[in-house]
Chain A
Amino acid sequence: MIAEAGLAALWFAAAMALLQLASAALGLRLKQDELAAAVRPVAIAQGALAALSFALLIILFLRSDMSVLLVAQNSHSAKPLLYKFAGAWGNHEGSMLLWVTVLALAGAGIAMFERKLDRATLIATLGAQAFIALGFYAFLVIASNPFTRLDPPALDGMGLNPLLQDPGLAFHPPTLYFGYVGLSIAFSFAVGAMITREVGPVFARAMRPWVLGAWIFLTIGITAGSYWAYYELGWGGWWFWDPVENASLMPWLAATALLHSVNVLAARDGLRAWTLMLAVVAFSMSMLGTFLVRSGILTSVHAFAVDPTRGSFILVLLAIYIGGALALYGARVGRVKAGQPFDLLSREGGLVLNNLLLSVILGIVLIGTLYPIVAQAMGQQLSVGPPFFNKTTGPIALFLVAAMAVGPMLRWRRDEANAILEKMTVPAGAAALVTAATFLAADDASWMEIVGLGLAAAVAIASFAPLWRRNLLRTPLFTWGMIVAHFGCAVSLAGMAADSAFTSERLVAARYGQPYYVGPWRIVLNGVAPVVGDNWSAVEGRVTAIRSDGGTPLLLTPQRRFYASPPTDTAEASIRTRVDGQLYAVLGAQDAQGRWQLRLWWKPFVTLIWFGGGLIALGGALSLIGRISRERRSVRRREEAE
């Protein structure tokens, strides 16, 4: 019965979405306030029903109900409880249901908490949100029903891909989805505002916390995903420019640009049309990413399991939603009044530069990701890899970071060049010092690595400049947020540059007891022993590492794991974190002479990459709390005044 109830909840949620769209459209068109008043409660009901449907799917997975096709295909009764739970979204149908659930919850969130936006725009926004949801409900019930029964039921399930059996990954997709789909709010806000033509500071202030919230989730999701790939895939890299990764990076880039441009709109009533564009683009990138990942269109050269019907379905939805929003943009934005003018050298100018550079990076990543499809359409097979992306986005990203050092020091409307140069002396000096030191210390570092470390130093200092001559206690929380986030960028950049410039790597055919050297470490493989886990067995290498300058020896235990269902073997890397870097070991196969393949990395300061990512997200959170509490206070003050 649970599966049927889940499907029923899904249908009811879809019906609510239809009702929500109809009452919003008719309410606005016929100026019927009673109809429009229904939109809010219906949006909440839609969110509750979608959430109920998803909760029922989770219950099916927890009970290992093998009469449900999806459970039988993706779960197994012997799986640890956490992975039964996470298995609900570790597959196509379940993850699409999660996608729609987040979409519906986002709509419910707007209906419950949004108080700043004018009524008509709010109704139009909720109508747009329901319109998007409808398409994806249709996709679920027609092409991806997660509740399909299996008759007769399977004896047991086929299990979850062991690579996904990891606590980090269990919560990675939901986090990312809150980010992706949270951006639908910005999209619907933009559509709503284009319909009612109410674009201005009020609109920007209403949209800002929602964008910020989605962006925080995206940042956490990308950072965690990068760390997961780093320790789980055992390649020692943290970013691979894989289409799936790019699919998550593109919405983040657009959302980051939006986050900055919306400030110009809120504070100075500028960049109206541009902000609307970014709001549309950000969620469009989310949907495009979903399409690229789900249709298998990009992986077709690698003979990936592809379902063209699903791909076509999502493509049609994409054409309707993105095409519709862009058509509305073309027709309406010309009539949105231009905002306030500003000087080139001003806070606005700095934010425009930020937006331009982020957009260029976004464009490059988009072109690089889609180019294989276009090339294949012209009869050429190729793949675009890290060398292209690193070479093209790297310099622009460095330029962006340099701009980040200056931007927060600029004043709104106009500023003096001399004053800026004066404020920049300390950061610029630090940059010069670090650049020179790196240049002398690491003779084989590339110019990007050297400049990257220098700029990281400059931004790390400059990010605190907004506090200069300010009462720290009276500095608003969102300013602290900006400082922490920018500082996080510097930290992350330092990690990337240090990892790229100073990593030592070795691949050895290790004999027991023989020492090998990587970076400052002396490594010995002492032996190999069998170990067993919940649903896997493994051979585990016992590796000791001693630093050349002494200290206590470290034990590393890289494993080769064998999972019974589905039969798979994986390499489980062993990582030891020190203050100044990570030691990373992967055990490979044994050769005919009894030697074990052992891959070793010493990665100085690599952890800063994800620590910086965490700081960026923390900065976002501080900023969000600061914005919300300031709005609350101003509402209270207004009420008291009345």
Chain B
Amino acid sequence: MKRWLLWVPLIVFAGLVAVAGSRLIAPPDTVVKSALIGKPLPDFALAPLLPAKPGLDRGDLATGKPRLLNVFASWCVPCIAEAPQLMKLKAAGVQIDAIAIRDTPQAVAAFLARHGDPYARIGSDPQSQVQISIGSSGVPETFVIDGQGRIAAQHIGDIREEDVPKLLKALEDAR
């Protein structure tokens, strides 16, 4: 047997230690990035839910100006928790459109009356079909859509206080 072969286990192990060490030093990466980021939104057209608010289709999200697309439902408790943050974003001049999941006009009207109405448009998605096609698996979720109707970022779960600047920055970056 060649002598140098005896050192192969040590070299392999050293490589392993190097990789493991670099992973320990690297900041913990706890977010699984959505595969749809950077991709254009699929084609969809959702009927309005409330008489006073227009519905939502793909064209509404490609007007040249970045905006937020909020996936919510009146029956969802974390959606109540994120309502103040959405109002804050609206006050900062952000345009927010919404998809209401498996909801009724009465319930949504009551929800908006109680927790504030940050939305420019609300499309009704009674079967979650559009929700699934845009890669959202629950409520609430918030997408940053760039001016061309592409998904620039996806925020899963309710928007906390500390997420507001992150979303504003993501909107800025999508410009």
Interface residues of A (CB under 8 A from B): 273, 277, 281, 284, 291, 295, 297, 300-303, 306, 308, 311-312, 315, 318-319, 322-323, 326-327, 329-330, 333-334, 370, 373-374, 376-377, 381
Contact = CB atoms under 8 A, between A and B. Distances in A.
3 nearest A-B pairs in the assembled complex, by CB-CB distance: A326-B10, A330-B7, A303-B30
Contact of A374 (B7, B17, B19): B19
10 contacts: A273-B1, A315-B24, A323-B10, A323-B17, A326-B10, A329-B9, A330-B7, A370-B19, A374-B19, A376-B23
Contacts of A284: 13
A114 B173 CA distance: 69
Contact of B19 (A311, A329, A377): A377
A377 B23 contact: yes
A427 B21 CA distance: 50
B26 to A, nearest CB: 8
Give the residue among B16, B20, B25, B30 with the most A Cβ atoms within 10 A.
B20
B33 interface: yes
Nearest to A381: B32
B22 interface: yes
A373 B9 contact: no
B28 A300 contact: yes
Contact of B24 (A295, A301, A303): A295
Given A300-B29, A377-B23, A381-B33, A315 B6 contact: no
B14 interface: yes
B161 to A, nearest CB: 20
A301 B30 CA distance: 5
Given A315-B17, A326-B13, A376-B29, A297 B6 contact: no
Contacts of A330: 6-7, 9-10
B3 interface: yes
Contacts of A329: 6, 9-10
A322 B23 contact: no
Nearest to B33: A381
Contacts of A291: 20
Contacts of B30: 300-303
A333 B2 CA distance: 11
A333 B32 contact: no
Contact of A327 (B10, B21, B28, B32): B10
A377 B15 CA distance: 12
Nearest to A311: B24
A306 B20 contact: no
A381 B14 CA distance: 23
Nearest to A334: B3
| Range, interface on chain B | 20 to 34
Contacts of A301: 29-30, 32
Contacts of B16: 370
Contacts of A319: 17
Contact of B22 (A277, A323, A377, A381): A377
Contacts of B32: 301, 381
Contacts of A334: 3, 6
A326 B9 contact: yes
Contacts of A308: 24-25, 28
A506 to B, nearest CB: 26
Contacts of A323: 10, 13-14, 17
Contacts of A333: 6
A329 to B, nearest CB: 6
A332 to B, nearest CB: 9
A312 B28 CA distance: 14
A281 B16 CA distance: 14
A315 B7 contact: no
Nearest to B21: A315
B24 to A, nearest CB: 5
Contacts of A374: 19
Contacts of B20: 291, 295, 297, 315, 373
Contacts of A281: 9
A273 B3 CA distance: 12
A319 to B, nearest CB: 5
A456 B21 CA distance: 43
Contacts of A295: 20, 24
Given A277-B9, A326-B13, A330-B7, A297 B29 contact: no
Contacts of A302: 30
B79 to A, nearest CB: 20
Give the residue among B13, B24, B30 with the most A Cβ atoms within 10 A.
B24
Contacts of B24: 295, 297, 308, 311-312, 315
A302 B33 CA distance: 13
Nearest to A309: B24
B137 to A, nearest CB: 16
A533 to B, nearest CB: 30
Given A329-B10, A377-B19, 7 more contacts: A308-B28, A312-B24, A315-B24, A323-B17, A326-B13, A330-B7, A334-B6
Interface in B1-56: 1, 3, 6-7, 9-10, 13-14, 16-17, 19-26, 28-30, 32-33
Contacts of B10: 323, 326-327, 329-330
A277 B7 CA distance: 12
Contacts of B19: 370, 373-374, 377
B10 to A, nearest CB: 4
B13 A322 contact: yes
Nearest to B30: A303
Nearest to A338: B1
A315 B22 CA distance: 11
Contacts of B33: 381
A210 B23 CA distance: 36
A323 B120 CA distance: 62
A373 B20 CA distance: 7
B3 to A, nearest CB: 5
A386 to B, nearest CB: 19
A203 B33 CA distance: 54
Nearest to A280: B9
Contacts of B29: 300-301, 376, 381
Interface in B116-132: none
B81 to A, nearest CB: 19
Contacts of B17: 315, 318-319, 323
Contacts of B6: 273, 329-330, 333-334
Contacts of A326: 9-10, 13
Nearest to A326: B10
